[in-house]
Amino acid sequence: MRGLFPRAVKTARGYFFAPCGKEVNSVPTQKKIDAVAEMKERLSRSKVAVATKYSGINVAQATELRSKLRANGVTFKVYKNTLARLALRECGVEKAADFMEGPTAWAFSDDPVAPAKLLSEYAKDVPFIQIVGGVLEGKPVNAAQVQALASLPSREQLIAQVVGTIAMPLRNLVGVLNAPLRDLASVLDQIRQKKEGQAA
């Protein structure tokens, strides 16, 4: 009579009731439950999540890519598509699951430009990496939209441009204010040299 009645299975998050007609083995494991919860949290905390195909990439290339992404504040993680679909659905962006086909890795970041830019640059040398879509500010985006993000200046570049724009007038102002001081210092130095010459 196995499977005729719901069966309660205890997990760290409480009891899970297996539906009628389902084997207990089909109940999600704690590891899978935690993986879905982890991806949901990353989706909610990140401004962007970029989905990529990575079939064919070797261990050395994957390690190098993760290192480059991590150095720029990007988390790169592989989730099973079935679990990723659950997380996307529970976050209200289930349409982003339409982009997933085959092994899919996700890049999460608070910088909406960094993952797209870094992955696009890396894909030039390692064609196994292919951007297929993602989630931007809680909305699904396709591959073309993610590639458009890659063409934008990075956050650091934007900050440098803004600071440069602000600093330029300030440098000019400081130059104007310092000019009389430089002239005065030059005059004082000439007087000092003259007195030293007279004393000699």
pLDDT for position 48? 94
Q: Confidence class of residue 58 from pLDDT cuts 50, 70 and 90?
A: confident
pLDDT of residue 4 exceeding 60: no
pLDDT of residue 44 exceeding 60: yes
pLDDT of residue 108 exceeding 90: yes
pLDDT for position 1? 42
Q: Confidence class of residue 55 from pLDDT cuts 50, 70 and 90?
A: confident
Q: What is the pLDDT of residues 71-104, one digit of tens each?
A: 999 999 999 999 999 999 999 998 998 888 888 9
The pTM (predicted TM-score) of the whole model is 0.63
pLDDT for position 118? 93
For residue 9, what are its two tokens? Answer: 């299975």
Q: What is the pLDDT of residues 157-188, one digit of tens each?
A: 545 544 554 545 655 555 545 555 445 455 44
For residue 113, what are its two tokens? Answer: 């430009």
What mean pLDDT is reported for the chain? Answer: 76
Q: Is residue 118 packed enough to be buried (19+ CB in 10 Å), middle (13-18) or exposed (0-12)?
A: buried
Please name the residue that has the structure tokens 């990723």: 84
